[in-house]
Structures are given as structure tokens and as C-alpha cells.
Amino acid sequence: MKADKMTHPTLERHGEQWRHKKRIPADVLPHFGGVKTLTFSTKTPDAREARAECLRWLADLSAQFQGLRRVAEGGTAVPVRPGLTPQELGEVLAEEVARFKAEKLAADASAAGRRLLAEGGALSAEYRLSVIGIDRDSARLAVQGAFPGVLDEFEALALRRMAGVGVPLEKSSSEATDAALAFAEACLEVAEVVKQRAAGGFDSTPNPQPRPALAAPEPVATDAAPLLSVVKAAFVQQHDPKAPVTKKYEAVLPLFIEFMGDVPVSQLRQKPVTEFFDMIQRLPPRWLDKRRQTGKTVQELAAMDWPERMAEKTFDDTYKMALRSFFKYARVTFGDDGWPIHLTTEGIKYRGTEEEGKNRQRPMRPEELRRLFEGPEAVAFAADPSQASAYWLPLLGLYTGARINELCQLNPQCDIRDDDPQASGVWFLDITEEGEAAEGVDKSVKNKTSKRRVPVHSVLVGLGFVDYVKRLKDAGEALLFPMWAPVKGRAAGGAERWFRLHLQTLGLRDETRGARLVGFHAFRSTFMARAEELNEPRADAISGHSREGESAVKRGYRGETPLRVKVEILERITFDVAPPRPGP
């Protein structure tokens, strides 16, 4: 049987802590639900302690890999059990969580016994938990939902454990999140028992139960029609995984399968489809967060009384759009295999009361711009090189009208250049999903119009932006704003949270319905409003907006506006602010 090398782990700095990345071996890769690399984050700034934590994690991980290989050598790889109902999935999860708790408590009893025999004396609960790899503080934060990133390590644990019993879960899916919370809660329960043991208490610890031998499952389908999950997988594979629309499909379709059940598609009917749409429009904004926090099902959330519910634009542009495209594909591709060709989203209406545009962000007023760019905070950012990201990010937002993720994903090594053949010497931002990305960043653009070259405004050049980029390039940085780490593939995850808090700290946050000032998107409104004041109708070539009423065909004939023309457009758009110049 192939063994995993236990090498000296390479640790990399991650904030004040350390982390280590482990590539999943190819022979067990199919059991991890699409995950290719696992990341372990330590909870200590001390490198020696971090390495010890990492070695314990690697040992546990190696044992998981070997367990999967033993099953494979018994005749087959771990068979995937398709078509589990939500209840069946919950039963499997409960069994595996119970097995995990029993294993950890048995390991604690064994390790504590050996240490007592060798050295004598009582062992603290903290030490005993560190020996068996339980982080009580992280588990508590994950269960409370205070820091979403903390849940990632428990999701990785859940993916490994569930794959080992033939139930691979999709990373970041609702099922994976539910499983992650279950394992985080299990860690808290283990920590409580260990605490009682350390204080001299007794408990009745069940022996760890072996995982069941996984035989090939009986087919779920009772006819020749494919399962709904099979059709969904085929549909998603037709799309670029980095495209924003694919992310919408991956958010909506698993929920649809959860509601309908992973049944043979020949059993689908129109009435439950209509009921699905009736249900989702009763959900609150950010319902996924509320689901994680409360542990309630989607149906239970929809039945609750919420002050706000899903907006019509979200209903139409995300949920209805996703299923309309899915049904169209399935009719053509699987119509001969049992897909009901009558299934449709036609006639399904939004019946909610949330008004359109209530969350729209307004342009910033002149006095607000001066507070933001000339206040003492801006002066402090300019004077401190370690705060350079906080200095430049808002300025680029103001003078480009670009989306925050478009700016944050820019790589100084290749995305900011002056080599346009039609405008030699003009520095520009190359906003595209192509090109080398920083580690942890999945580059993307919203649509075809968003892919563009944006000149660097002369105001930014005068403040030293090009010099800033050159310093980053010389330092080997792959992020334009290295102050903020990417979050789940999104370069702007940390930056947008910082800017929302920054607006609030400055006293600029405005919650007025339909005229809010709450985040970075306000710069797009500010940029376009200023262009309109100056009677510059071509500003969409800079901001990446689609021109109102222009068809895709006409847009294709028109092509991208030349960079030299964009310079002319951009230089007309100025603002009455005088930001402090940063130091060298």
C-alpha cells in the first residue's frame, strides 16, 4: 500500500499565524468532492508550536488517506452513494460525527493514561485537547458564526470524513456547511468531556465504531431516467467554472435538488417547481448565513416572519434565471432520457413586496469625498507605507468606477502595463479573467463588457501610483493590495469588509432606502454621476457598464473603445478633492 511521506512541513505566514497546504494524492482525490488542496491554519504565532500542530494534522490526514486506500484494495474504490434524501444524508452525518467523537475521546483516554503512567500528575484540559487535535476556541467561533473563515477548517474535516463513508460533498455547498457545523459542535462536545475528565470527573465513553464496509449501492433510480444530480452536473460542466453565472448555478441548483429530492428526472412535476419558487421568495436576504447560524432548514426559514425578504431582482436575475437556463438545457440534452419537456419557469411571478432599488447606493457628495480623501485618516494612510493599500484602493475606485474585485484581483506583475500598441507609454489596468493570478485568487469578470483596459488617471500618476506598482513588482507581490488576503478565491473579500467599516468609522455610512452609502459600489455611482454632470456619455467604456438599449450584436460590431480615446474620456472626469501625497 502506498504510504504518504511525513516530510518536514513548510509553513507560510498567514497574518500572525502560520498555515500549511497539502495537495491531496491523486489516488484518493476522487473522494474529496472536487477539493484538490487542503489548508491547515495554526492558532499560534510561535513557529515551533505551529510545526507541531501541523505534524499532528498531517498524521491524521495520512491516516485518512490510508483508510481510503484500504477500502480500495478490498476490491473497489469507496463507492459513492448517490440519491440520498436529506434525511438519509443526515443519518449518515450523525453516524460519522458520533464515530469522530468516540475516536477523539478514546484517543484522549489512551494518551492521558500513558502520560500519567510515565510522569504522574494531572494534565490540563488545554494540553489534552492539543494532543488529540481539538481547538475549542475555533470550534466555538465556527458555531457562533462570528468569523466565517474559521468554518473552513471544519469544512475540510467534514469533506474528508464524509468522503470516507462514500458521501463526497461539494465544497462550499449547503450540505458541506451543515456538516462543518456538525463537526465543529462535536469538537465542542469533546472539549467539554475532556474538561470534565481533567477536573476529575468520569464519563461513559463509547468505543469507536468501525466504519461500515461500503458495498456498491443499489441503484436509486427505478427507471432508466438519470438522477437530477446527474443532469445538474452535466449542465454545470458546460460552463466556465470562473464565470459569475456559474457561481449562480452552483448556488441555486443544489438548493433545487434539496427541495425536489435527488430523484430520477422522469418523476419531476411542474407543481413542486412552482412551490419551490413560492418558497424561495419568502427567504430573507443572506439566508445562507441565517441557515448556518440557526441550523434551520430552508423551508423552516421561509416559514418564519422576517422584516425583509428576497428582492425581486435577486429572484429574477439569480434563481429564475438559473432554472430557466437549466430547464432549457435539460429539455434538449435529456428530453429523450425522461426529462419532462413541459417543465417551465414561464408564468412564475415574484409576489413579494420588496421594492426595486431599495438597496441602491447613491453618489458621494463633495463634502463626503473631502472627508474621505482629505481627512486625518487619509493623511495617516499616506504617511505610513504599511497602510499603502488603504491609501490607494479608494482612490482607484473613485478615478475608475471599477468594481472592487476587479481592482483587487489585479496582479502588479502583469496586469498594470504601458505596452498598448495604439497608445504606447500610457499606463493602464488590464481587467480580465486571464493572466497569472495571485495564490488563492480566482480571477473573474462579471460579463464580456467588464473585460476592458482602463487608463490610469493623471491624478493617480501624479500621486505616485505607477511608482507604487513598480515597488510591488520589485518585491514580487502578486496582489495590488497585499494588506488584505483573498477569501475563498475572491480577491476583494477582506478589502470590501474593511471599506464598509471605514465608511462607518468616518461617519459617512447612510442607510437611507434607495440612496444608501454603505460600501465600495458607491464609487461606481459617483463616477457615472460625475460623467453625466460633465455630459460625457462614453464613460461606460471606463466603468464597464453595458450601454442601455444596446444589443450584444451591436456591441460586438462596435468593439472595445481604443485606449487613446479612453484617455480623452477619463481625463475629463475630475473631482474636487486634494488627497495628501504619500511618502517615498
For 348, the grid coordinates are 412564475
499 and 431 share one domain = yes
Q: Would you say residue 320 has pLDDT above 70? A: yes
**Alpha helix positions (H), 164-240:** 174-198, 228-236
Task: Please indicate, yes or no, if residue 172 is contained in any of the structural domains.
Answer: yes
Q: Which of 316, 337, 358 is the last residue of a domain?
A: 337
193 and 236 share one domain = no
Task: Please indicate, yes or no, if residue 529 is contained in any of the structural domains.
Answer: yes
For 18, the grid coordinates are 502560520
Question: What's the predicted TM-score (pTM) here?
Answer: 0.50
370 and 419 share one domain = yes
Q: Which of 154, 183, 198 is the last residue of a domain?
A: 198
Residue 112's pLDDT is: 60
448 and 525 share one domain = yes
Burial category of 472 from C-beta neighbours within 10 Å (exposed 0-12, middle 13-18, buried 19 and up): buried
428 and 522 share one domain = yes
For 44, the grid coordinates are 499560534
Helix (H) / strand (E) element for 255: namely helix 244-260
Task: Please indicate, yes or no, if residue 79 is contained in any of the structural domains.
Answer: yes
186 and 285 share one domain = no
151 and 27 share one domain = yes
Query: Domain residues for 517?
Result: 366-572
319 and 371 share one domain = no
439 and 299 share one domain = no
Dump pLDDT digits (tens) for 195-219: 888 887 655 555 445 455 444 444 3
Task: Please indicate, yes or no, if residue 493 is contained in any of the structural domains.
Answer: yes
Neighbour tally for 384: CB within 10 Å: 13
User: CA-to-CA distance for 249 and 70, rounded, in angstroms?
Assistant: 36
Q: Give the least confident one: 40-44, 215-219, 294-298, 500-504.
A: 215-219
Task: Please indicate, yes or no, if residue 309 is contained in any of the structural domains.
Answer: yes
For 384, the grid coordinates are 505610513
Neighbour tally for 552: CB within 10 Å: 10
449 and 505 share one domain = yes
**Domain holding 495: CATH number?**
1.10.443
Residues whose CB is less than 8 angstroms from the CB of residue 275 and which lie 6 or more positions away in sequence, other chains included: none
Domain total in the chain: 3
Q: What is the mean pLDDT of the chain?
A: 82
Residue 384: how many CA atoms within 13 Å on its side-chain side?
Answer: 12
Dump pLDDT digits (tens) for 439-495: 988 888 877 778 999 999 999 999 999 999 999 999 999 999 999 999 888 899 899
Q: Is the pLDDT higher at 322 or at 111? A: 322
Residue 118's pLDDT is: 43
Task: Please indicate, yes or no, if residue 179 is contained in any of the structural domains.
Answer: yes
99 and 244 share one domain = no
Q: Would you say residue 79 has pLDDT above 70? A: no
Q: State the average pLDDT over residues 344-365.
A: 80
176 and 269 share one domain = no
* CA distance to 41, 111, 196, 489, 498, per residue, from 494 (Å): 17, 40, 39, 11, 6
Task: Please indicate, yes or no, if residue 353 is contained in any of the structural domains.
Answer: no
Task: Please indicate, yes or no, if residue 350 is contained in any of the structural domains.
Answer: no
User: CA-to-CA distance for 270 and 70, rounded, in angstroms?
Assistant: 45
